[in-house]
Structure 1
Amino acid sequence: MKKLFLTLSISITILALILAFLPMGSIALIPALAAVTFSLLAFKLSDTKTFFIKGLLGIGVLLVLVGLGKMFFTTEEVIIEKAYEEKMETSKKEALKELEELELDSIQ
């Protein structure tokens, strides 16, 4: 049973580590909390409290803190750039002018 929890803890910690650095919002908290839970269960069931199990538990706690920090301290804003919109409008107008010139040339 300890090996099962340890294996789950290792694999979920790796998944939580990957998701913690991707811009996916607070979804990294789910595997981080699962990693802490499985690490804690492996720690409780083990006879010898090894540094590896304590390290997994510590990494899981750090990942939970990183996930909470990302959730509370990052803001998601959509910035509309005026220069880009103006450039798109001018390119549309130029394209319409070119089409009108092509239509006039093809008629004559």
Structure 2
Amino acid sequence: MRKTFIILASVFTLLSVVFSVLPLGTIAVLPIAIALLLSFLALQKSDADSKKLPKILLLIAAICLVAVIGKQLLVKEEVAKDAQFEQTIEKSKEEDKKELEELENLEGDLE
């Protein structure tokens, strides 16, 4: 049973690391919670001399949890308005209007 807990804890800890690095928000908490639970169960099932790996997995999952919570609290996601792009769009619209007016004048001259 201990080996099963360690294998599953390793898999979920790896998923926790990947999810905490990717910009997925708080969805990363789910594999982190599972990794913490499985690591804790593996730690409980281990003998006194074989608790090193479950402790490492528990520590990595806890660090991932702190990273995800810190990223949610400290990083503010906001969309900045790009004034230069807006000016380019307006300029492009004005040029398009002028071209359409020129085309209308050419059509009027041809008739």
* Normalised-by-shorter TM-score class: 0.7 to 0.9
Tell whether 2:67 aligns with 1:66: yes
Q: Is the 8 A contact 1:16 1:31 kept in 2?
A: yes
Greater radius of gyration (CA): 2
Offset from partner CA, 1:43-87 (integer Å, 9 cap, x none): 111224332221111101111111111111111111112221111
2:20 corresponding residue in structure 1: 20
1:86 corresponding residue in structure 2: 87
Q: Is the 8 A contact 1:26 1:70 kept in 2?
A: no
Amino acid at match of 2:62: V
Structure-1 separation of matches of 2:6 and 2:107:
75
Q: Is the 8 A contact 1:43 1:54 kept in 2?
A: yes
Amino acid at match of 1:105: L
Instruction: Give the TM-score of the pair, scaled to structure 2.
Output: 0.83
Structure-2 separation of matches of 1:92 and 1:6:
62
- Name the % identity: 36
Q: Is the 8 A contact 1:13 1:56 kept in 2?
A: yes
Gaps in structure 2 of 5+ consecutive residues: none
Structure-1 separation of matches of 2:15 and 2:102:
58
Cα offset, 1:28, TM superposition: 1.6
- Compute the RMSD of aligned alpha carbons: 1.7
Structure-1 separation of matches of 2:29 and 2:52:
24
Cα offset, 1:100, TM superposition: 3.4
Assess, with a 3 A threshold, how the Cα gap between structure 1 residues 63 and 106 changes in structure 2: closer, same or farther.
Answer: same
Offset from partner CA, 1:20-51 (integer Å, 9 cap, x none): 11122222222112111111111111224332
Instruction: Give the TM-score of the pair, scaled to structure 1.
Output: 0.85
